[in-house]
């Protein structure tokens, strides 16, 4: 499955860190890219450094218009999955989404415009309580890939964690 993520908006002050975490989760859980508008200058540099050290081909794609990315999803062969606490429970939606070839997962920083709900092929809720969009993204990606993404290695990695019951072991530079 090809996975892209679209991050809509950014609430100033708190969101550089949260947006960075959304990108890190997207990468670690198997997404190929994250589209971002309104992104701070340090976010692409941070993700480039992570990719260089830990491998993979993940890319940060700055976009002046999230609406264009969303509208272009069908032409790219992507089904739109919008994460919202008002959607269909993830347990019901994940098996259907898992059958898709390519998805664009939309996560919002604040109130998401109605047009996103209308454009989505799937409006999916990870619980019906307020929580982080980063947590919802991790749960969705894990559910639709049934944990396989956690076992996948990253090509070109200079660093690798060696599992250990105690302590920390990292090999590489």
pLDDT of residue 131: 85
Place of tokens 């599992």: 163
Q: In terms of pTM, does the model score above 0.85?
A: yes
Q: CA angle at residue 24 from 107 to 172, to 5 degrees?
A: 170
pLDDT for res 37: 81
Of the ranges 8-12, 45-49, 117-121, 130-134, the best mean pLDDT one:
117-121
In angstroms, the CA 122 to CA 4 distance is 15
Closest CA to 6 of 88, 84, 62, 46: 62
* Residue 150 pLDDT: 85
Reported as a single tens digit per residue, the pLDDT across 70-123 is 999 999 999 999 999 899 999 999 999 999 999 999 998 878 999 999 999 999
| HEC letters along 27-48 | HHCCCCEEEECCCCCHHHHHHH
CATH topology of domain 2-172: Alpha/beta knot (3.40.1280)
Q: Is the CB of residue 140 less than 8 Å from the CB of residue 100?
A: no
Domain residue limits, the chain = 2-172
């Amino acid at each position: 499955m090809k996975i892209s993520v679209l991050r809509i908006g950014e609430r100033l002050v708190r969101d550089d860190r949260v947006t960075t975490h959304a990108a890190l989760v997207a990468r670690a859980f198997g997404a190929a890219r994250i589209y971002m508008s309104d992104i701070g200058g340090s976010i692409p540099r941070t993700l480039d450094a992570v990719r260089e050290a830990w491998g993979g081909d993940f890319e940060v794609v700055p976009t002046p218009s999230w609406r264009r990315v969303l509208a272009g999803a069908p032409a790219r062969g992507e089904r739109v999955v919008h994460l919202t606490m008002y959607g269909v429970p993830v347990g019901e939606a994940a098996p259907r989404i898992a059958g898709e070839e390519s998805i664009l997962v939309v996560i919002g920083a604040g109130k998401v415009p109605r047009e996103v709900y209308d454009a989505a092929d799937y409006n999916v809720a990870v619980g019906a309580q307020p929580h982080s969009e980063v947590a919802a993204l991790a749960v969705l990606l894990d559910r639709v890939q049934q944990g396989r993404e956690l076992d996948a290695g990253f090509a070109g990695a200079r660093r690798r964690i060696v599992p250990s019951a105690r302590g920390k072991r990292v090999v590489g530079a």
